[in-house]
Amino acid sequence: MPDTALSGLDAPVRALMERIAAPAAAATPDLAGIGAALATLPEDTDYLGRWAARLGDGTGRAGIHLPARGPRLMIVHRPLGQMSAVHDHGTWVAIGAISGLETHRRYRVTGEGAAARPEVAAVDSLGPAETATLLPPDDLHDHGHLVGRGSPAHILVLTGDDQLRFERTEWDPDTGRRRILPPGEPGRWFASDPWPRS
């Protein structure tokens, strides 16, 4: 029997959601399986090219599949030299490049209290069809474009659920400043965006 929740999706997205159904439903999500499934979608250059054209070379994001609950898929583009704020998602996440080169940095928090700071634990450069996956509580990261590292990427962001349903955290790694994002609060789009006034 066909899944009626998927029946209205474009064929490439429906196929992706079918491929990740079992890995995502595991007691501990099978991130390797989810990442491998996401890596196949950029092969459909005609389909994703239309989505990338909507964003152009500027900045933005567009929802490709945004159900109320369960896995969601977006396309994202940040321009030259712009990284996201350091953040977590509160749900598993897989990030995959469609075009360009996306820098993806994982962080770990060292120290306690006022001395706590996120420090870079790993750096990946994601080219087309390459993915990075994260599972809470080890999902603190940032991503985007660093000057001198290829062209800014169009990427796919696949999350296990709507991240805005969860309390999340945003950091400034230079100062150690941390902000708790209550459910519904999206946080800063760029690391260079000003912090909201308290």
In a domain, 149, yes or no: yes
State percent of the chain over pLDDT 90: 81
In a domain, 191, yes or no: no
In a domain, 65, yes or no: yes
In a domain, 161, yes or no: yes
In a domain, 194, yes or no: no
Range with lowest mean pLDDT among 9-13, 23-27, 29-33, 164-168:
9-13
In a domain, 170, yes or no: yes
In a domain, 123, yes or no: yes
| Alpha carbons 76 and 53: distance in angstroms, whole number | 11
Q: How many domains does one find in the chain?
A: 1
Q: Nearest 10 degrees: CA dihedral of 30, 33, 35, 37?
A: -140
- Domain holding 171, by residue range, is 11-181
Q: What CATH number is given to the structural domain containing 22?
A: 2.60.120.10
CA-atom Rg of the chain in angstroms: 17
Q: What is the pLDDT of residue 3?
A: 54
94-118: per-residue pLDDT in tens? 999 999 999 999 999 999 888 889 9
43-57: per-residue pLDDT in tens? 888 999 999 998 888
In a domain, 74, yes or no: yes
Q: What DSSP string describes the chain?
A: ---TTTTTS-HHHHHHHHHHHHHHHSSS--HHHHHHHHHHGGG-HHHHHHHHHHHTTS-EEEEEE--SSS-EEEEEE--TT-BPPEE--SS-EEEEEEES-EEEEEEEEES-GGG-EEEEEEEEEE-BT-EEEEBTTB--EEEE--TTSSSPPEEEEEESS-GGGS-EEEEETTTTEEEEE-TT----SSTTSPPPP-
